[in-house]
Amino acid sequence: MTSIDDSRIPGVQDPAVQIHAEAETPRGYGSMKRKEDARFVRGRGRYVDDVVLPGMLHGAVLRSPLAHARITAVDTSAAEAHPKVHAVITGETLAGLGLAWMPTLSNDTQAVLATDKVRFQGQEVAFVVADDKYAARDALDLIDVQYEPLDPVIDARRALEAGTPVVRDDKDGQADNHIFDWESGDSAATDRVFAEAEAAPDQRVVTADILYPRVHPAPLETCGAIADMDPVTGKLTLWTTTQAPHAHRTLYALVAGLPEHKIRVVSPDIGGGFGNKVGIYPGYVCAIVASIVTGKPVKWMEDRSENLMSTSFARDYHMRGEVAVTDEGTIRAVRVDVLADHGAFNATAQPTKFPAGFFGVFTGSYDLEAAHCAVTGVYTNKASGGVAYACSFRITEAVYLVERMVDVVAHDLGMDPAELRMRNLLRPDQFPYRSATGWEYDSGDYPHTLQVALEKAGYEALRAEQADRRRRHEAGERVRLMGIGLSFFTEAVGAGPRRSMDILGLGMADGADLRVHPTGKAVLGISAQSQGQGHETTFAQIVAQELGISPDDVEVVHGDTDLTPFGLGTYGSRSTPVSGAATAVVARKVRERARIVAATMLEVAPEDLEWHDGRWQVAGDPEASRSMAEIAMAAHSNLELPEGVEGHLDATCVYNPPNLTYPCGAYVCVVDVDPGTGAVDVRRFVAVDDCGVRINPMIVEGQIHGGLADGVGMALMQGIAFDLDGNCLGGSMMDYLLPTSLECPSWELGETVTPSPHHPIGAKGIGESATVGSPPAIVNAVIDALAPYGVRHADMPLTPAAVWCAAQGRPLRTDLAIT
């Protein structure tokens, strides 16, 4: 038997942490403080790295220093002789178990530990297990790997050229670096509109090449796992940083052949995810194998550089956008060609399938006659991607592309970008709207949302101030240039409808189970996995709203596959759209059961009762009513219920969403740019989001704040470049810069509310909206500021150097460091 260190469990020694500090207990929706913060702000959260098991050993991963090399020999004898080392696992060890390669989310294969070649700098080569993590790290230096260096493939734009080395020569029939071709939309219809636009005297085609650079989500806690295979019971307990505990359990069962009921995945507090913790990493598999081999629990936690260099990155899309538009500014069609750099192993969420090819929403928020996009994926000698940082390989790049293109069109037409957007936005009467690429947007009032943002920003006055600054600049005064940038985005979140989506054969429905105890307190089990989004609070609020009890009386259980119902976890802002819907539905089931119990108690027919103010009440007789606590006690008593009605107040449900939810938002960013140094100051940022009904407005705003900061990071600071030898230039936080409060303005938020018509409580997801919507607004603002220099486009990250070069008419290539 193993046990965890009890003193670290909040509440065990400090009952105060269980007490919620609200003066007045709220019921249902509203900005109540987060329940989980009682432990987080006291430093009493329990993260994966806090888990300590008796007799636990520690693992460390040996990584490749080279981006591309053949492995000719691996000598582990000196490491094995280290007095504190228990085992050294290599690719050969794993090959003996059939585990040297594992499947990825895209049904590609990925090396767990390299056998034939290393394919990116930082790739996993061997795993050492020792008494402590220091000894494990020391022993890595004792492993002798012989490499025969090969030319690396670093420039994605050249990956398909003849004569380029083949990254994946391990795959049968793979003679080049091509992974897939994926397309969406009607190519013939789109080409027709473009031909017309080219021929017509009062229409035109606007084109731009746009890069969304490689970035990394960089969560606070890096990835890791503690594997504990009990040799007596044969049960594997895996404590791990996962956003999808149930999916991981099933995958371990399918891939490693372990019986699923003998696997328990526990994901306690995890320090952020941002998509970084969706995939299964080699280190997890190594920890499991190491626990089986040594018969002891084995912990593996990566360090910051390992996280930045080897775990799922995001973006790396080279995009060509074309827009067919009339001279008056009516956008007719969009055509997109994308080269997607997926690194050495294709690990992104199935890009060939709708809607994992979420890039299909590149038509944005506009009413188009036609649209077509083609994406080609290529292998390079870089770390593989994943489901990372507000869902790469989907909306994030698509929104950036279309919102950047709209500004390029405005530039070329000499039109105001707000006016151009207003002219082309979908109208409220067009919903539900079927896009040119087949997506059904559920609801929205886009012109209103944009209007609210423009008014909040004081758009007219900003433009007047800008004109004045430009005059002074032109008169030779040394002033900072002012830029105003807009974006309007439509998100598509809540994966997803069963008929259109599955990952490795699993559907996308989520379960929820709710038990109401005799005293009216409730426990909700969900499959969503909070990484900091406040689920323990908001999901309790949903139950509270439906049952008329306090959120403080609802305990939310998640992150343990032995205790919670199956579901695919938290990513793609799907928790509220899917698990949240399941929670509302299961609570309504309980409420209906409570109605029968209350009717029996009040000796009336269930139809005579009305749900009023959180109680079941006899119609027209407010005196005759019962609360959920009274009903719960009766449901567990000897009360004689009608024939066929079960006692107690428990229910389960599985929610299979009929559609995604489509939140939207209008953002306005104001920047000041110093043309002498290229330094950018984000002066103001107005964000008006519509995520339907808000359960906890404070948490929603927190989510938006975080996403806006992400946007500042991506637009101005982040971006992982490589040199031509394949050295990753973003491997530490000295090189990969995260935004702080110093780079961020005081956010100005606003809202519009268009409920989702198909979601039980009308809510749409919000977790990624601001990360998706803010980069184009910031970049548009910087480019707008540089208008006096004739700049039409420059790629992120708009570092001072990139801005300065753009102003000099020599835009930087930001994905490669060419020296």
Please report, as ranges, the residues that interact with ligand CUM according to CB under 6 A: 243, 273-275, 278, 387-391, 571-572, 768
Dihedrals phi, psi of 655, to nearest 5 degrees: -105, 125
Q: Which of 59, 360, 483, 572 binds ligand MCN (CB under 6 A)?
A: 572
Spatial CA neighbour of 124 closest among 59, 64, 60: 64
> Which one of ligand MCN, ligand CUM, none is in contact with 105 (Cβ closer than 5 to 8 A by kind)?
none
Q: Is 307 in the site for ligand MCN (CB under 6 A)?
A: no
Q: Compute the least distance from the CB of residue 762 to ligand CUM, in Å.
A: 22
Residue 581 in the binding site for ligand MCN (CB under 6 A): no
Give the x-and-dash track for 371-390 against ligand MCN (CB under 6 A): -------------------x
User: Out of ligand CUM, ligand MCN, none, which partner does residue 583 contact, by CB within 5 to 8 A per kind?
Assistant: none
Q: Which stretch binds ligand MCN (CB under 6 A): 272-280, 392-400, 473-481, 503-511?
A: 272-280
Give yes or no for residue 534 binding ligand MCN (CB under 6 A).
Answer: yes
Q: What is the DSSP string of 716-754?
A: II----EETT--BTTSSTTTSPPP-TTT----EEEE---
Least spacing, CB of residue 538 vs ligand MCN, in Å: 3
Residue of 121, 122, 180, 126 whose CA lies nearest to 153:
121
Which CB atom, from 99 or from 660, has the smaller least distance to ligand MCN?
Answer: 660
Beta carbon of residue 533, minimum distance to ligand CUM (angstroms, whole number): 10
Task: Report the amino acid identity of residue 590.
Answer: V
387 binds, options ligand MCN, ligand CUM, none, Cβ within 5 to 8 A by partner type: ligand CUM
- The H or E element spanning position 516 is strand 510-516
Taking CB within 5 to 8 Å according to partner kind, which of ligand CUM, ligand MCN, none is near residue 351?
Answer: none
Residue 445 interface partner, choices ligand CUM, ligand MCN, none, CB cut-off 5-8 Å depending on type: none
To the nearest whole angstrom, how small is the minimum distance from the Cβ of residue 701 to ligand MCN? 9
Degrees (nearest 5) of the Cα angle 801, 804, 810? Answer: 100
CA distances from 613 to 395, 599, 715, 761, 764 (A): 41, 17, 47, 17, 25
Nearer to ligand CUM, 288 or 308 (CB): 308
Which C-beta is closer to ligand MCN: that of 45 or that of 678?
45
Count interface residues toward ligand MCN (CB under 6 A): 36
Are the beta carbons of 526 and 512 closer than 8 angstroms? Answer: yes
Instruction: Verify binding: residue 573, ligand MCN, rule CB under 6 A.
Output: yes
538 binds ligand MCN (CB under 6 A): yes
Residue listed under structure tokens 């690990």:
347
**Of 500, 482, 504, which Cα lies nearest the Cα of 492?**
500
Residue 68 CA to residue 118 CA, distance in Å, equals 5
DSSP 569-614: -S-TT-IIIIIIHHHHHHHHHHHHHHHHHHHHHHTS-GGGEEEETT
Select 540 or 779, whichever has its Cβ closest to ligand MCN: 540
Which among ligand CUM, ligand MCN, none contacts residue 576 (Cβ within 5 to 8 A by kind)? Answer: ligand MCN
CB of 348 to ligand CUM, least distance (A): 10
Q: Which does 575 bind (CB under 5 to 8 A by kind): ligand CUM, ligand MCN, none?
A: ligand MCN
Q: Does 706 bind ligand MCN (CB under 6 A)?
A: yes
CA 343, CA 345: separation in Å to the nearest integer? 6
Contacts of 98 (CB under 8 A, 6+ apart): none
Cis-peptide into 776, omega within 30 deg: no
Whether the Cβ atoms of residue 487 and residue 479 lie closer than 8 Å to each other = no
Q: Which of 499, 492, 498 is nearest to 567 (CA)?
A: 498
Burial class, 176, CB count within 10 angstroms (exposed 0-12 / middle 13-18 / buried 19+)? middle
Nearest to 449 by CA among 681, 159, 82, 773: 773
Question: Rounded to the nearest whole angstrom, what is the least distance from the CB of residue 390 to ligand CUM in the complex?
Answer: 5
Q: Are 131 and 107 in contact (CB under 8 A)?
A: no
Residue 258 identity (one-letter amino acid): L
Q: Is 696 in the site for ligand MCN (CB under 6 A)?
A: yes
Closest approach of Cβ 274 to ligand CUM, in Å?
Answer: 5
| Cβ neighbours of 231 (radius 10 Å) | 10
Q: Contacting ligand MCN (CB under 6 A), which of 426, 766, 770, 794? A: 766
From 363, 365, 392, 575, residue interacting with ligand MCN (rule: CB under 6 A): 575
Of 385, 692, 730, 739, the one binding ligand MCN (CB under 6 A) is 692
CA 193, CA 421: separation in Å to the nearest integer? Answer: 20
Q: Which is nearer to ligand MCN, 483 or 657 (CB)?
A: 657
Which range binds ligand MCN by CB under 6 A, 58-66, 534-542, 546-554, 804-812?
534-542
Surface-to-core class of residue 19, CB atoms within 10 Å of its CB (0-12 exposed, 13-18 middle, 19+ buried): exposed
The residue at minimum Cβ distance from ligand CUM is 275
Residue type at 667 in one-letter notation: Y
Residue 341 CB, nearest approach to ligand MCN (Å):
21
Assess 767 for contact with ligand MCN (CB under 6 A). Answer: yes
Reported residue count of the chain is 819
The answer to whether 252 touches 245, Cβ cutoff 8 Å, is no
Q: How far is the CB of 315 from ligand CUM (least distance, A)?
A: 11
Residue 395's binding partner out of ligand MCN, ligand CUM, none, with CB under 5 to 8 Å set by partner kind? none
Partner whose binding site includes residue 561, from ligand CUM, ligand MCN, none (CB under 5 to 8 Å by kind): none
Which window, 160-168, 195-203, 666-674, 686-694, contacts ligand MCN (CB under 6 A)? 686-694
CA distance 575 to 581: 9
Q: Are 639 and 626 in contact (CB under 8 A)?
A: no
92-100 long-range Cβ contacts below 8 angstroms, 24+ apart: 93/289, 94/285, 94/289, 97/289, 99/255, 99/256, 99/285, 99/289
Among 71, 105, 695, 772, binds ligand MCN (CB under 6 A): 695
Q: How far is the CB of 349 from ligand CUM (least distance, A)?
A: 8
| Site residues (CB under 6 A) for ligand MCN, limited to 276-295 | none
Q: Is 570 in the site for ligand MCN (CB under 6 A)?
A: yes
Q: Minimum Å distance from CB 647 to ligand CUM?
A: 40
Near ligand MCN by CB under 6 A: residue from 274, 362, 366, 433: 274
Going from the C-alpha of 220 to that of each of 48, 344, 721, 767, the distances in angstroms are 12, 26, 22, 17
272 binds ligand MCN per the rule CB under 6 A:
yes
Under the binding rule (CB under 6 A), the answer on residue 765 touching ligand MCN is yes
**Least spacing, CB of residue 3 vs ligand CUM, in Å:** 31
Q: Please say which residue, 321 or 565, places its beta carbon nearer to ligand MCN.
A: 565
Q: Which is nearer to ligand CUM, 277 or 591 (CB)?
A: 277
CB of 360 to ligand CUM, least distance (A): 16
Q: Among ligand CUM, ligand MCN, none, what does residue 691 contact (CB within 5–8 Å per kind)?
A: ligand MCN
Helix (H) or strand (E) holding 94: helix 91-96
- Residue 572 · residue 614 · CB < 8 Å: no
Using CB under 6 A as the criterion, which residues of the chain lie in contact with ligand MCN when the complex forms? 219, 272-275, 390, 531-535, 538, 570-576, 580, 691-696, 699-700, 703, 706, 763-768
